[in-house]
Amino acid sequence: MKLSHTFTLAAAKLKVRRRRTIVTCTTIALLFGVVIFFLTVYSSLFASHTRMSAEIFDGNTFIITSTFRNFNTVTIRARALELYDLSQDEDKRYPLIEDEWHEGEFFLDHTNKFVIQASDEEHARLMSEQHITLTEVAARYNGEIIANTEGLHRSSDLFFPALEIPPGAQGAMPSGVAIDILPRSVVNSLIAFEPNMQDSVPVIIPAEHAARLLNLSRLPDDASPRELEARLKDIHDRAPGLIFHGHSTDTFFGVPINDEIEEESLNSSELDDEISESPTEHITFQVIGISAGTIQPYTIPGPSGFRDERPFLLRVLDGINSFGGGAGFIIPTEFINDYTLQYFERSYTSWLGGSTIIRFSRPADLIDFRANEFCYDDNPHCTLYGGAQEFMSSIYWLHTMSYNINTGVVYLTAFLGFIAMFIMAGTIGRVIEDEKQATAIYRAVGATKGAIRKIYITYVTLLSAITATLALIIGYGFSLAIHIAYSRILTANSRVTYGLPESTHTIWTVGFDIRTLLVIGAIFLVGLLCTLLCFDRMISKSIIKDIKD
């Protein structure tokens, strides 16, 4: 059978059954049109939004990972090893103690002050198997590791935005160490990590302890929000100048270390007396920030009760972890790029929250980074490097929201698409079954099954083409209507949000989304499949039976 005859017969059906064709195609096209509408509006909004926001993001740091727990842990490890090297000095020799439980791991021990070891067997295995550098991770997402020499985006900035970084602080600042209630060994550890901070260790302390140090009276439990706000402001105003002292009787790498720092010695009301008793043994702590966090009891148990058995430093770190504001060390800049990251399934050895900055050139890279690298505790397969916290900004929030909408749009369009496909399948099935008598006559006058199949494939392809065209008209029509109605106000609002009154970019809702092609393809594919699947039902062995049916 010639193609021209096939087309003539298929087109003739459309021509005469105009009403039915229009109803069938319009019904299906409406559903697919809505899908196209969603895709078009969303992708256009997202594209225009990204274009406008790029003016803000270009060349700016807009994310920090304020807590890179594993990185910090490894830094500690590296630092411990460095200390070990230093310990080869005859005068400063510290024994290297092999880990009895996990072969291959070793740690330094100096009265249990520096111990880096796996917390359990799995931890040890992961430590040895997974070596990925932070630089590598950053590169994967077009990121760039930078030293936080400018003190960008520290949590303390929320409270003391104008604070100068103390001299000598090259890396991230501590972000919430409640020195006043930590056991003296914690203090020693902190100092040991950064001996050059011996003269004045900058700390951030929880607000409630700052109040104690400042001899502020305790607020009643039922204090009003206004009183609380006033109290916080009072603390903020006074804390930056607050200096308090611990005292030591020993040294550690030249840093005075106190064997017996008493908790009460940290009570500022008694500081003056203690300072006067042994001024040379004092360590000065300068408060540079107040964290809003309060002390929380540590409630996460270690595996198989292992936590109680963990060496000293790990317990110390756990202790630091118990503060809501986090804790941190000053990480030397030169360490940042070189150290191997280790993966920890659980985080009880980490949360030494120094700030490490990864600068991303595009918001999308940051979002990808977070999506792929964020580690959830209930995800046993995660291969991540710590909990990256997003930079709190409305711009970033807009991006996050856009991505969330994207997910919603994908699900919604998939759902609508499936419904549309089922309806289309049913409609095509009915259309073809209604053609039973016509096909029987074709056969009676000499048509083979193949010839009839060609006619109906052509017929349904023409139906699909009409449907797809209508769907595009409906989808883009609605998008255009939305554009005409809202583009101006969306643009104005977005410029305000981004702070770009002079932006040349506009927000629009009409554009092309590559997924539209999938929708159009689905229309044709469903039509074709239904034709082929329904075809055999349309033709029985007896022509007469089909004619009479």
Partner 1 sequence: MPILKTKNLTKSYKTKKGIVHAVTDVNLSVEKGEFVAIMGQSGSGKSTLIQLMGGLDTPTSGEILVDEIDITKLKDNQLSKFRGKKFGFVFQTFYLQPFLTVAQNISLPSMFTNSQNLSLDRTRKLASILKIEDKLDSYPSEISGGQTQRVAILRSLYNNPAIIFADEPTGNLDETNSIAVLKMLKSINQKLGTTIIMVTHDSRVKQYATRTITLQEGKIT
| 8 A C-beta contact, residue 9 and residue 455 | yes
Task: Considering the complex, state which of residue 155 and residue 439 has its C-beta at the smaller distance from partner 1.
Answer: 439
Nearest distance in Å: CB 445, partner 1 = 4
Task: Considering the complex, state which of residue 7 and residue 306 has its C-beta at the smaller distance from partner 1.
Answer: 7
Q: How far apart are CA 378 and CA 516, in angstroms?
A: 36
Task: Considering the complex, state which of residue 212 and residue 454 has its C-beta at the smaller distance from partner 1.
Answer: 454
Nearest distance in Å: CB 466, partner 1 = 16
Task: Considering the complex, state which of residue 158 and residue 544 has its C-beta at the smaller distance from partner 1.
Answer: 544
Task: Considering the complex, state which of residue 45 and residue 431 has its C-beta at the smaller distance from partner 1.
Answer: 431
Of residues 310, 246, 264, 289, the one with CA closest to residue 160: 289
In 3-state terms, what secondary structure has residue 97? strand
Nearest distance in Å: CB 11, partner 1 = 9
Nearest distance in Å: CB 428, partner 1 = 17
Task: Considering the complex, state which of residue 230 and residue 441 has its C-beta at the smaller distance from partner 1.
Answer: 441
Of residues 481, 467, 478, the one with CA closest to residue 519: 467
- Give buried/exposed letters for 442-461 (b at 16+ CB in 10 A, else e): bbeeebeeebbbbbbbbbbe
In 3-state terms, what secondary structure has residue 6? helix
| 8 A C-beta contact, residue 353 and residue 387 | no
Task: Considering the complex, state which of residue 226 and residue 541 has its C-beta at the smaller distance from partner 1.
Answer: 541
Nearest distance in Å: CB 452, partner 1 = 9
- Give buried/exposed letters for 102-131 (b at 16+ CB in 10 A, else e): beebbbbbbeebbbbbbbbeebbebbeeee
Task: Considering the complex, state which of residue 392 and residue 445 has its C-beta at the smaller distance from partner 1.
Answer: 445
**Residue 304: which region, alpha, beta or left (left: phi > 0; alpha: psi -120 to 50)?**
left
Nearest distance in Å: CB 447, partner 1 = 4
Task: Considering the complex, state which of residue 509 and residue 531 has its C-beta at the smaller distance from partner 1.
Answer: 531
Nearest distance in Å: CB 427, partner 1 = 18
Nearest distance in Å: CB 10, partner 1 = 10
Where along the sequence are the contacts to partner 1 (CB under 8 A)?
A: 1-2, 5, 8-9, 12-13, 15-17, 437-438, 441-451, 541-545, 547
Nearest distance in Å: CB 414, partner 1 = 37
Nearest distance in Å: CB 29, partner 1 = 22
Q: How far apart are CA 139 and CA 520, in angstroms?
A: 37
SS (H, E, C) 452-516: HHHHHHHHHHHHHHHHHHHHHHHHHHHHHHHHHHHHHHHHHHHHHHHCCCCCCCCCCCCCCCCHH
Q: How far apart are CA 434 and CA 17, in angstroms?
A: 12
- Give buried/exposed letters for 45-84 (b at 16+ CB in 10 A, else e): bbebbbebbeebbeeebbbbbbbbbbbbbbbbbbbbbebb
Task: Considering the complex, state which of residue 138 and residue 440 has its C-beta at the smaller distance from partner 1.
Answer: 440
Task: Considering the complex, state which of residue 125 and residue 443 has its C-beta at the smaller distance from partner 1.
Answer: 443
Q: Enumerate residues 6+ apart whose C-beta is below 8 A from 458.
A: 6, 7, 10
| 8 A C-beta contact, residue 258 and residue 187 | yes
Nearest distance in Å: CB 459, partner 1 = 10
Read off the amino acid at residue 381: H
Task: Considering the complex, state which of residue 131 and residue 545 has its C-beta at the smaller distance from partner 1.
Answer: 545
Task: Considering the complex, state which of residue 214 and residue 451 has its C-beta at the smaller distance from partner 1.
Answer: 451
Cβ count within 10 A of residue 496: 10
Nearest distance in Å: CB 430, partner 1 = 17
The per-residue DSSP string of 395-439 comes to: HHHHHHHHHHHHHHHHHHHHHHHHHHHHHHHHHHHHHHHTTHHHH
Axis crossing angle, helix 394-433 with helix 515-538, rounded to the nearest 10: 20
3-state helix, strand, coil in the chain (%, to 5): 55, 10, 35
Q: In whole angstroms, what separates CA 463 from the centre of its chain?
A: 45
Residues constituting the chain: 549
Nearest distance in Å: CB 439, partner 1 = 11
Task: Considering the complex, state which of residue 1 and residue 528 has its C-beta at the smaller distance from partner 1.
Answer: 1
Nearest distance in Å: CB 17, partner 1 = 6
